[in-house]
Amino acid sequence: MTYEERYEGYLSLIEPALKSCFGEKRGFPFDGLLEAMDYSLTAGGKRIRPVLTLEFARLCGAAAGDVLPVSCAVEMLHTYSLIHDDLPCMDNDDLRRGKPTNHRVFGESTAVLAGDALQAEAFGAILRSGLPAGRRARCAEILAGAAGVDGICGGQYMDLSAGERAFSADEVRELQSRKTGALLSAACMLGAAAAGAGEEMIDAAGQYGAQLGAAFQIRDDMLDVISTVSELGKPIGSDVQEGKTTFMTLYGEEECGRMVERITGQAVKTVEHMDRDGFLSELARRMAVRRG
C-alpha cells in the first residue's frame, strides 16, 4: 500500500466519524451550539493528528475501528484550540481553513461555548469508547497533559502574555513545544496507548510527535512569510504585524529551512525501528516541505 492509499484510507474513516459525532443529539434547544461545533470540526484540513493516532495504533497491533473514537477525540481538542485561538481576545483572526472563523459566523459567546463543549466531548469520546478501562484512563491522562498548562493553554498564555517583549530562542522553543508540539506528541502517544503498548513505545511515539511538532512550527513560521492566503487558508503576515518573535525573526528563511530538515531527520530516525513501511517517515518529510 502506498503512502497516499494509507492516508486516504485513514481519512475515509475519520471524516464520517467526525461528521456523526453529535448526530444523535439533534432536536434539542442547543442545536445552535451543535451547529457551531460541527462547523469547525468538519471544516476540513489535513487531519494530521487523528491520522497519527491511527497509524501508531496500527503499528502497535490495534484495528483502526477500535481506536477511531480516540482519533476523533484528538481532532475535537485540536478544533477547540483553533476556535479559541481565533477569538478577538486571543489572536483575533477572521479566516481559518479558507472559511470565516467560528466567532465571525456564530458570534463570540457561541464560539467560546463551542470550544468548551468540544474539549469536554473529546474526553467523553475516549471515556465512552469500547477500550479497556486502563487504556481509556491512560489516553485521557495523555490528552489532559496536552490540553492544560503543560500544553496548549500554557503555550497560549505565554504567547499572549509576552506583549511586545521580544522572546529569546529558548522561550520561543518552549512556547511552541506547548502550543503546537504537545498535541502532535499526544496524538502519537494516544495511538500507542489505545493499542495497549508499553511505556517505552508510548515514549518513542511522543518523541517522534514532539520532533514533528518542532519542525511543523518552524515551517509554519516560514509559511506566514512566504505562503499565500489561498495556500495557507488563513491570513499571512500576522506575526510580523503583531511584532511577535518567531523562528523566522530569529533565524531567517535559510536557517529555518536547515532546522526543519535537521529536525525532520531526527524524527525519521526516532521511528526507523518501528516504521515498517515508511509511512511515518514519508509524513514527516511531506510536512517539512508543505505549502499550506
65-99 residue pLDDT tens: 999 999 999 999 999 999 999 999 998 999 998 89
Tell me the CA distances in angstroms from 273 to 2, 195, 214, 265, one per residue in order: 19, 18, 21, 14
26 has pLDDT over 90: no
Dihedral of CA 240/244/247/252: which sign? positive
H or E, element range at 258: helix 247-270
Strands 99-100, 95-96: pairing is: antiparallel
Residue 244, pLDDT above cutoff 90: no
Please give the single-letter amino acid code of residue 214.
Answer: A
Identify the pLDDT of residue 166. Answer: 80
Q: Can you give the CATH number for the domain in which 253 is found? A: 1.10.600.10
Question: pLDDT category, 24, cuts 50, 70, 90?
Answer: low
> How does the average pLDDT of the chain come out, rounded?
92
Is 284:51 a contact under the CB 8 Å cutoff? no
Short-list 51, 44, 42, CA closest to 8: 51
pLDDT at residue 243 is higher than 80: no
Total domains, the chain: 1
264-282 in b/e form (b: 16+ CB < 10 A) is bbbbbebbeebbeeebbbb
Q: Region 180-205: what's the mean pLDDT?
A: 97
Band of pLDDT at residue 230, cut at 50, 70 and 90: low
Domain residues for the domain of 35 are 3-288
Q: Is the pLDDT of residue 236 over 70?
A: no
Residue 8 above 90 pLDDT? yes
Q: Is the pLDDT of residue 255 over 90?
A: yes
Count of residues making up the chain? 292
**What pLDDT is recorded for position 182?**
96
pLDDT at 207: 97
Once rounded to an integer, what is the mean pLDDT over residues 128-156? 96
30 band by pLDDT with thresholds 50, 70 and 90:
confident
Query: Residue with C-alpha cell 439533534?
Result: 26
Report the C-alpha gap between 287 and 126 in whole angstroms. 27
